[in-house]
Chain A
């Protein structure tokens, strides 16, 4: 009868210590973190609760071969907890090192305890410290990654919001659309602006579109080229395009750059452009006449 080959589970006595002397570890860990400074801004009770929960999560998985691999299935709850913690702290304005020190601060009290426990067995002490370091370092790096990811998500969301915010197409009058542009014009944004504008022209059947660049800080040759592309595409579809909101400096820049805006109608203000648009669609704005009480 072949004996089942039992793979010896990696022993991790440091976790046994955490379970057995939990209160002691917890107190020392919280104290360690409060020393770092930033954690002071958290209510002590909240910090304590977070530490307590994390200790439970460290103590919980049963010893196995993969127990020292923080990527293993057994550590999924701990990873989720740290991910949540990092994101929250990233939002609260903690720096990356302050966030990571949550995990790293556990080392000092834990190692002190290990040294006392294995005072007479140097080999065992070395092993235990190595195991604890390996695991805690992985978990600490994980908090960094999650922190980074949290920040990136914020940036990405803001980018998206900016793109959406920056391309509103408004109807000024029957058949007259306006597109107030805000921010720097790059290729990606121009593409979105162009598509949105052309789509709205199809939907509304507007004959005139006014692109207002009052909110565009600088115009260089690329920006001018993007603008010209939009104007040309609009013209190809059978609508007219007027560019308004050209500030004096920008007009000078355009001339200095030698950009030829060709036969594109340009105006200094949106009001002027609107007046032109109205007259081209056969309307005009005049003073209201008083009718009295009749």
Chain B
């Protein structure tokens, strides 16, 4: 079964979605990710969706749920590189993903995470 790799970078987990998301894959990713956060006790997750061109309400909700689950486990989620069409779709679907941090690209996402870590310390 295909899985989306979860890479560890310092205190972060980096997830790059490079294939079309279907519901099963999204479910698998969600459970894999929560297990990885708990096991590796990381404080942040970078979800890179710059290659994702199509979203539906399920994927949108999955992102919100992943972020909420992560927060319960002590990790903040940063969604990076969302495409304009995806952003417009999510807004039209009424999913504003409140409580999720966003950044234009992975680099800025990392900077955001580091700033947040520095302010916590």
Contact = CB atoms under 8 A, between A and B. Distances in A.
B83 A202 contact: yes
Given A195-B84, A195-B88, A199-B84, A236 B103 contact: no
A236 B52 CA distance: 14
Nearest to A199: B84
B91 A238 contact: no
A210 interface: no
A238 B103 contact: yes
A207 B86 CA distance: 18
B97 interface: yes
A236 B96 contact: yes
Interface of B: 79-84, 86-88, 90-92, 96-97, 102-105, 108-109
A194 interface: yes
Contact residues on A (Cβ < 8 Å of other chain), bracket: 10 to 19
Given A199-B84, A207-B108, A237-B82, A232 B96 contact: yes
Contacts of B92: 229
Contacts of B81: 238
Closest 3 CB pairs of A and B: A198-B84, A238-B102, A238-B103
Nearest to B97: A236
B91 A233 contact: yes
Contacts of A233: 84, 87-88, 90-91
Contacts of B97: 236
Given A236-B96, A238-B79, A238-B81, A198 B88 contact: yes
A239 B104 contact: yes
B87 A198 contact: yes
